[in-house]
Structure 1
Amino acid sequence: MKYSKIGVFDSGMGGLTVLKELLERIKGLDMVYFGDTARLPYGTKSPGVIRQYTLECSRFLVDKGIDMLVLACNTASAHAISVAREELGIPVMGVIDAGVRAAVSTGASRIGVIGTPATIRSNAYAEAIKALRPDVDIVSKACPLFVPLVEEGMLDDEVTEMVARRYLKDLISQGIETLLLGCTHYPLLKNVIQKVMGSGVNIVDSAATTARAVTRMVKGEYECKDSSDVVYYFTDLTQSYLKLGELVLGRPMENVEKVDLDGRLGGGSNG
Structure 2
Amino acid sequence: MGIGGGANESHIPMIGIFDSGIGGLTTVRAIMQKLPGYDILYYGDTARMPYGSKSPETVRQYALENTRFLVERGARIIVIACNSAASTAMDAVTQTFDLPVFEVVNPAVEAAIAAPLPPRIGVIGTRATIASGVYEARIKALQPNATVHSVPCPLLVPLVEEGWLDTPETTRIVKKYLHPLKTKQIRTLILGCTHYPILKELIQKKIGKSVRIIDSGSCVADTVVRYLAQNPQMDARLEKNGEHRFFVSDITAQFQRSARTMLQGPIHLTHVRM
Say yes or no: TM over 0.5. yes
The match for 2:7 is none
Deviations 1:36-91 (A, max 9, x none): 00010000110000001111111011100110000000000000010100101111
Q: 1:45 aligns with which of 54, 58, 61?
A: 54
Matches within 5 A, 1:74-223: 74-106=83-115, 107-219=117-229, 220=232, 221-222=235-236
Seq. identity, %: 42
Deviations 1:215-238 (A, max 9, x none): 111234236877410111100011
The match for 2:242 is 228
**Taking structure 1 as reference, are residues 224 and 52 closer, same or farther at Cα in structure 2, changes over 3 Å only?**
closer
Deviations 1:87-132 (A, max 9, x none): 0111110000000011111133210011000000101100110011
Q: Separation in 2 of the partners of 1:35 and 1:4?
A: 19
Displacement after TM superposition at 1:159 (Å): 1.0
Which runs of no fewer than 5 residues in structure 1 stay unpaired?
262-271
SS at structure 2 position matched to 1:245: helix
**Taking structure 1 as reference, are residues 166 and 134 closer, same or farther at Cα in structure 2, changes over 3 Å only?**
same
SS at structure 2 position matched to 1:222: helix
RMSD: 1.4
Q: Separation in 2 of the partners of 1:216 and 1:19?
A: 16
* 2:261 equivalent to 1:258: no
Deviating runs (4+, > 4 A) in structure 1?
223-227
Which runs of no fewer than 5 residues in structure 2 stay unpaired?
1-11
Q: Separation in 1 of the partners of 2:217 and 2:33?
A: 12
Structure 1 length normalisation: TM-score? Answer: 0.92
The number of residues matched between the two structures is: 258
Q: Separation in 1 of the partners of 2:271 and 2:14?
A: 20
Q: 1:249 aligns with which of 251, 263, 267?
A: 263
**Equivalent AA in structure 1 for residue 76 of structure 2:** D
